[in-house]
Chains A and B, each alone.
Chain A
Amino acid sequence: MTDLSPSPRATSLLLPDARTRARNSAEARFRAYGFAAICLALLMLAILLVSILGNGLSSFRQTYISFPVLLTEEKLDKSGTRDIAVMKTVTTVGYMKVIADSLEQVLKDKGIDVGDLKSKDVAALLSEEAPAAIRDRVLADPTMLGQTIPVRLLASGRIDGFFKGRVTAESAAKGTKIKPEQLVLAEKLRQAGLIETRFNFAFITAPDASEKRPEAAGLGVAIIGSLYMMIVVLVLSLPIGVSAAVYLEEFAPKNRFTDVIEVNISNLAAVPSIVFGILGLAAFINFAHLPQSAPLVGGLVLTLMTLPRIIIPARAALKAVPPSIRDAALGVGASKMQSVFHHVLPLAAPGILTGMIIGLAQALGETAPLLLIGMVAFVRDYPGLPPEGFFDPATALPVQIYSWTQRSDPAFVERASGAIIVLLVFLLIMNAVAIVLRRRFERRW
C-alpha cells in the first residue's frame, strides 16, 4: 500500500521554499536578459549615431580667410587690353602670387609679425582652390582688374583642422604638411578677425575635389546624381511594380506559371545587392554598351533591385481591400479590369505609395551595385539637365562616401561623416513622409 505519511518538509503557500525561490529568480533573470538585449541594441544604435554626428557635424563649418586683394594689372593681364584669351594664359599660380602679395601687405598693415616664416609658408595658409575662385571671377568680369576687392577664401585643410581641433602643435611638429609656426600665425590672424569659421554651404553644393584639397570637397555632384537615379527608379519601378502586383493579385490564374513568378519575386528580394551589380555590369554595360558612370545605368540597376520590394507591399495593400468593393463594382456592371483600376487600386494607393517611398529610401542607400557599374570615378563636373544629364558621368551619395573613406587625408573622414549626416537626413525625411502618409490615408476596413 502507498505510504500516506506526510512529507517531512511542511510546505506553505505563504513562505516560498528553495525550489520556488530558484524558479522565481530564474524568471527574474530571464526577464532581465530580455531587457538587457533591448538596451544593448538601442545602445549600439545610440553609439553609432553619436559617433557619426560627432565626426561629421564639424564638416558643416569651414574656415575662411577674409582680406582685400589688390588685382595688380601687370601680373594678371600682360597685354593690358583686357583680352580674355590673353588673360587666360595666367594660370592659378600667377593668381596665387597676387593673392599672397596682398595677404603679406595686409599682415604688415595690421602689424602681425610673421616671425621666421617665408612668404610661401604664409601663402600656404590658403587652400589651393582659392586662386581658382578668384581667377573665375576675374575672367567673368575683367573690369575688376586694378581694383582692390574684398574676398573670402578657403583656408587650407590643415588650418581648418587646427581650428576644429584635429591638428595640434604637437602633430604639426611631427608631420611635414604644416609647421607649428604657421599654426601660431593662424591663431594671430583669428584674433585679428581675418580668419573665421562659418557655416559651409559649399559642402552641399560644391563638386568633389582632389585628394590634396579636402577643404574644397563637396557633395553637389553626388546629390544631383542620386536625384537623377531616384527619378529613374521612380519612373520605371512604380508602373512596372504596381502592374505586376495587380496582375499577380487580381488576374493571375492559380497555376504553375504564376507559382514560378511568385517564387522568383520572393527570391529576388533576398538576393545580395552585389549580384545585381554584376547583372548591371554584364547586361547594361557590356551587352547594351550604355555609358559607364551614368545615372541612367545606376537607376536601371536600382530599379531591378527595388521591383521586388515594391511588388510585395503593393500585393499586401491590394489584398487588404475587402472583396465587397470588388463585388459591388462588378454588381453595377463594371468589367473586372474596370473594377480593379477604378475602385480597388485607388483604395490601395496609400499602402502602395508608402511601400514605394520605403523602397526608394532603401535604393538611395545602396552602394555595392553602383561600385560595380563604375560610379566610383572622380567626377568634377555637374551632370547636365535631363534628359541628356542622365547619360553624363555622375556619382551617387553613398558611393561618394565610400570613395572619401578610401582617401588618405584624415580630413576626408570628417567629410565622409558629414556626407552620412546628409544621407541620413534625406532618409529620415523620406521615411517620415511615408509614415505621415500612412497615418493620414490608411483605412482600416
Chain B
Amino acid sequence: MPLPLILALAVLLLGAGFFSARARAIVAAGGDARRLHSLPSFHGWLGLLAFALPAGGVLLLLVMAGNTAPLGVASLTLATTTGLMGWAAVLYTTNAETRARNRVEALVQIFLIFCSVIAIATTLGIILSLLFETAAFFQQYSWTKFFFGTLWRPDFRGNSDLGFLPLLWGTLYVSALALAVAVPIGLFAAIYMSEYAGPKMRSVVKPAIELLAGIPTIVYGLFALITVGPLLRDWVAQPLGLGESGASVATAGLVMGVMIIPFVSSLSDDIINAVPQSLRDGSLGLGATKSETIRQVVLPAALPGIVGAVLLAASRAIGETMIVVLGAGAAAKLSLNPFEAMTTMTVKIVSQLTGDTDFSAPETLVAFALGLTLFTITLGLNIFALYIVRKYREQYE
C-alpha cells in the first residue's frame, strides 16, 4: 500500500478514536460536560492513545522480530485490530468519574522521561560500540604495541605497524599551537571587551567574534588548504628551509587557533564580568591603574573559570577533524618541526574507516580504538575543567 494512503488512513482512524471517545464521555455524563471529572478533550486523547499505543507497539514488535514488510497489509491489519481492541476497552469503561486526565498525563510523563533517557542511551551507545569494537581490535593486535608503538604504517596485506604515539604527538602538537594562538588573543580580546570597550563597540565586536564560532569547520579546512598552507610554505618554511609542504602542523594549528578564539573569548568574557565590581572599585580606590587592577585583582579572581575555559577549548581542539584533514596532511611522524606534515588521531579515524576495507581487519578496527581514546581524553578534559571550576571558584555574596 502506498505510504500517503497509509498515512491518510492512520490520521482518519486516530481522529475517529479521539472524537468517538470524547462523544462517549459526554454521553456518559448525560449530555452535560461539566459533570465529567476531566475535560472532554482528555477523554478524546485517552481514546486516541488507546488505539495508537497498542497498534504502534505491535508494529514495533514485528519490526524487531525481523519482519521485512512492516507496512504490508498483513501487519497493518494485525496492528489495527489490536488498536481497535484497546479503543473498545476504553470506550466500554468510560463513565463520568473516569480519571481520563490523570491517565493521559501519566502516559505523557512516561514519554517525557523516555525522551530524557535518550541522552543516556546515546552515551551508552557510544561507549558500548566503541568498547565492543576496540575489544575485537585488541584481540588481533596487542595493546602494548598499540599504545607504546612509535611507528604508524598500516598495510592492508597484514603485518602492519599500528603505533599510537605519532598520532598522539601530532594531536597534542597541533592543539598546543592552536591554544598558543587562541589563548592570548581570546583572553586579551575578552579583557578589552569587558573592561575597556564601550557598549557600542561591544555590540559590534561581540557578534563578529561569535561569527568565527559559527563558521563550519570545512570552511576553515579549505582556507587552510588553499590560502594559509601555501602562504606559510612560501613565506616562512621554504626561506628557512624547514619544509616543503603546504600541509603542516603550523598551518592546521594557526587555523584551528583562529577557530577557537571565540570559545576562549566568550567564556572568559562571562567569567570576567562575573567578578563583582566592588573588588575593582577597592583596587582603584587604593590607587592602582586599570591595567594593574585587571592583572592583580580581576584576573586572579577569574583564574579558575579562565583555566576551565582554556581546558574546554583544548578539548575542542583535540577533537577537531576537518581542519586537520585538510590542513595537516596524512603522514604520521614524531617530529619537532612545525612545518612538516603530521597527522592526528581524528584524521586517521576518518582515513581508516572510509575505504573499501574489510570491516574485521585490524587496520579498520584500529579506528575504534582511536575513537575510544579520543572520547576518553576529551571527556577527561571536560570533567577536569568542571572539577577545577567547581573547586577553586570564588563564592561572592
Contacts and interface: CB of A to CB of B under 8 A. Distances in A.
Interface residues on B, range: 35 or more
Nearest to A252: B116
A48 B219 contact: yes
Interface string A361-389: 11011111001101010000000000110
B119 interface: yes
Contacts of A48: 215, 219-220, 223, 258
B108 A337 contact: yes
Given A251-B109, A405-B326, A278 B354 contact: no
Interface in A249-267: 251-252, 260-261, 264-265, 267
A277 to B, nearest CB: 8
Interface string B282-294: 0000000111101
Interface in B310-335: 312, 315-316, 318-322, 325-326
A169 interface: no
A387 B359 CA distance: 30
Nearest to A270: B382
B226 interface: yes
B85 interface: no
B208 A247 contact: no
A185 to B, nearest CB: 31
A372 B350 contact: yes
Nearest to A42: B208
Contacts of B199: none
A267 B215 contact: no
B192 interface: yes
Contacts of A23: 289, 292
Interface residues on A, range: 35 or more
A122 interface: no
Nearest to A420: B219
A30 B209 CA distance: 20
A279 B123 CA distance: 9
Most buried by B among A265, A270, A304, A398: A270
B249 interface: no
Given A42-B205, A275-B374, A402-B218, 20 more contacts: A35-B196, A38-B189, A38-B209, A41-B209, A45-B258, A47-B227, A48-B219, A244-B112, A246-B112, A247-B109, A247-B116, A268-B119, A270-B315, A271-B319, A271-B375, A275-B375, A278-B353, A337-B108, A376-B354, A431-B214
Closest 7 CB pairs of A and B: A272-B319, A365-B216, A34-B192, A282-B129, A37-B188, A30-B291, A247-B112
Interface of A: 23-24, 26-27, 29-31, 33-38, 40-42, 44-45, 47-48, 51-52, 55, 239-241, 243-244, 246-248, 251-252, 260-261, 264-265, 267-268, 270-276, 278-279, 281-283, 286, 304, 307-308, 311, 335, 337, 361-362, 364-368, 371-372, 374, 376, 387-388, 398, 401-402, 405, 413, 416-417, 420, 423-424, 427, 431
Interface of B: 3, 101, 105, 108-109, 111-113, 115-120, 122-123, 125-126, 129-130, 132-133, 184-189, 191-193, 195-196, 205, 208-209, 211-212, 214-223, 225-227, 258, 261, 265, 289-292, 294-295, 312, 315-316, 318-322, 325-326, 346, 349-350, 353-354, 359, 367-368, 371, 374-375, 378-379, 382-383
